[in-house]
Amino acid sequence: MIILFIILAIIAAIILIVLLAAAFTKSDYEVERQITINKPVSQVFGYVRYLKNMDNYNKWVMRDPMARKDYRGQDGTVGFAYAWDGDKQAGQGEQLITKIEDARRIDVQIAFIRPFAAVSDSYMITEPTMDNTTVVKWGFASKMPYPMNAIMIFMDMGEMLGKDLNESLQNLKQIIEKQP
């Protein structure tokens, strides 16, 4: 009986430590990566503004090519929604275009349903350079609710998401630079 009490006390102490750590851990995170594409900003933005084009370069979308996809509205305009329902890796969710600054920026809200519920804000910014190339910045911002934010003690979201963002941006660069 004493051993059971000790085990329960240890488990309770571990849970308490995790809850206390979560109380003092930041709950929000931002990740941004960028790449330079050797095409003019009008051509680059003309491609990234359409969420359906993500099928061709977005690593997360490409994880499950058999995912069921549903679209609402006119792609490339505010209010367009792109929903997916895929396997365990792809999960289920929806992207919604919330704002567009023509030839400059597109903002998208991403609502994840499965494997866990979460909402993130994503953006793509296209900036022209002096030599007629384009810098593309792709970023995410989100918040993990307490006590789930305790996971951020052990996970570097910048490293975890940044690798996939870089790979997706490389895919985007290859696609656009092959265009005439």
How confident is the model over 7-57, as pLDDT tens digits? Answer: 988 998 888 877 777 677 777 889 999 999 999 999 999 999 999 999 999
Q: Domain span at residue 155?
A: 2-178
**Contact indicator for 113, 105 with CB cutoff of 8 Å:** no
- By the 8 A CB rule, do 71 and 55 touch? no
CATH code, domain carrying 12: 3.30.530.20
pLDDT tens digits along 161-175: 899 999 999 999 999
Q: What pTM does this model have?
A: 0.84
Average pLDDT score over residue span 117-122: 92
- Taking the C-alpha atoms of residue 51 and residue 48, their distance in angstroms, rounded to an integer, is 7
CB within 8 A of 124, min separation 6: which ones? 48, 105, 106, 136, 137, 138
| pLDDT higher at 65 or 153 | 65
In the chain, how many domains are there? 1
